[in-house]
Structure 1
């Protein structure tokens, strides 16, 4: 799914109908994805962007063609992480993605639930670009904060702030200085398209609020859902998978014309559920167990997120396509859900270039071109 085209077609409710430039869409992508979209008609509600903050990494991959198939997900037996001694002679114990996910599920089950009037989230999103002049890499950062009411009929609050753009490495900074240390950096959106000018200075925080869609819809989880829906999700992985798949139609979360496998669709939606949705700890554990049964999910150990926190990731690959002028460019990205094994709490979601193509055509394999880190996710009685 191309994030720019998707956001153009599915503006979140809190942003209104005014046109927004490309930079704003990129900077506020993580918050936009946590908002349900108003129904176009009473007969059918088009999928919204509220896959939660996690979808920023998976959906921002600009996928149009996705391969792979889904499968059934009976509940797996509980598995604990085996003990590893401190001896340097001890052989390394290799764990599968399934074993790690099941262990994370056990730890997620034991986390406290909490109470409060609002579900509060704080995240930082990073998007990578290449400068038009000098070709150095630029990281554009933004901070998003959201308050979702537990009760129906209330307002949903949001606060966003651009943290400014900056060169990524010392070599990139040297190239930026060589270009005259511009306060605004014009960047490429692709090999043949020039994007916006990114400011290197932080912006002012902007706070807004809007009534809940239909008075009670708070997130997108395959369909627009209420807080009551989220709190009542089944804690059995098989039942949870069945509940989610009732909204799956063989395509992506927004466009009927782009095919998406059941595995990738479940990974994308479930990653949002795990990352920062107000579900019970037992439902979060069930989501881990459900992902453990997907054959296409891979384990990535010793991953460091954009905030420098170390964790473990599970990942799934996605084919991406983007049309530049009259040419279509295809590539592959790996969408990763990074979490803390000891607590089962999500740390971040990101997308890594595997095969350059689409909007990632100008990046080397292994480049993390988009990330969203979760700094806070929990209940509070305070609002802005």
Structure 2
């Protein structure tokens, strides 16, 4: 039995004691830290094309830092995060509340209702920090480059292979294009991975589907662990957007602590080449005062 299957088997058993989970996580992390350091790259900002006038994009300045210990065990990080995701209660509420933050820029917030209606708030958005309802017809949810209704999201399979196949088929059927023309097979694979990243970071899916998305990411070729960083482990994923292919995952909470690429409900893609944003998402029963 290979290492990944062993980790999943050990961690996925029903309700092990906290001591067992903590010990296994320590073992995984010890394995991650055995390799030599990898140099962290420095990137410049690349602008993003957006589909709606209400969309605002986070601009993150270039930064630097000390090299972090790296390994090739990025898939192990994702499998540990999958276990954490499956054990995190989903909560309930009327609105799916998404908060996008960066330490140097105003917070952007979205409230998504199951019927596809949503509200926005943020200094860079329409209304200059005031809550406003997105005009027009209800919108499907952005799942990477794809769009899905709430019902479609709730019907996604919780098996990682079936989930990836569903997203990959949707990418093919959507006939997505890049600046160079129709997406290649490799780019279509990357778009499907971007949809998986949306499922783990911002989409209103069940804990079981979020865990399946983590496991599907773990099974993709080209996942690389770039080492410890603030908030968790920095991973390189095979995305369709080059230069935006790193995320920071906290395996203990299954949270994406930093991402260079995200998809606002208003359409388009928010893309920063260095730094990134943190996305928090949870159910709530309340909208803020207008």
Instruction: Identify the residue that residue 74 of structure 2 maps to in structure 1.
Output: 97
The within-5 A match list for 1:20-169 is 28-29=56-57, 96-125=73-102, 141-150=105-114, 152=115, 155-162=117-124
Q: Does the C-alpha gap of structure 1 residues 299 and 274 become closer, same or farther in structure 2, counting only changes over 3 Å?
A: same
1:226 aligned residue: 149
Aligned length: 222
Classify 1:253/1:160 alpha carbon distance in 2 versus 1 (closer, same or farther; 3 Å).
farther
2:154 and 2:136 map into 1 onto residues whose CA distance is 17
CA deviations over 1:11-61 (Å, ceiling 9, x no partner): 26xx2xxxxxxxxx6xx126xxxxxxxxxxxxxxxxxxxxxxxxx99xxxx
Distance 2:160 2:142 in 1: 20
CA contact (8 A) 2:144 2:194 kept: no
User: TM-score w.r.t. structure 2 length?
Assistant: 0.65
TM-score normalised according to structure 1 size: 0.50
Aligned counterparts of 2:165 and 2:239: Cα–Cα separation in 1: 23
Deviations 1:138-175 (A, max 9, x none): xx72321000012x2x6310001159xxxxxxxxxxxx
> Is the 8 Å Cα contact of residues 141 and 162 (structure 1) preserved in structure 2?
no
Q: Map residues 1-384 of structure 1 onto 2, 5 A cutoff.
A: 3-4=47-48, 6-7=49-50, 10-11=51-52, 15=54, 28-29=56-57, 96-125=73-102, 141-150=105-114, 152=115, 155-162=117-124, 204-210=128-134, 213=137, 215=138, 217-249=140-172, 252=176, 257=181, 259-260=183-184, 261=186, 262-304=188-230, 310-316=231-237, 333=243, 335-350=245-260, 369-374=274-279, 376-384=280-288
| CA RMSD after TM alignment | 3.5
Bigger radius of gyration: 1
8 Å CA contact retained: 2:143, 2:203:
no
Point out where structure 2 has 5 or more consecutive residues left out of the alignment: 1-45, 61-68, 262-270
Q: Deviations over 1:238-274 (max 9, x none)?
A: 1101110112239756668153524422221211111
Separation of aligned partners in 1, 2:150 and 2:234: 28
Secondary structure, aligned partner of 1:301: strand
CA contact (8 A) 1:121 1:146 kept: yes
SS at 1:104 equivalent: helix
Instruction: Quote how far apart the aligned CAs of 1:296 are.
Output: 1.3
CA shift, 1:295, in A, is 1.3
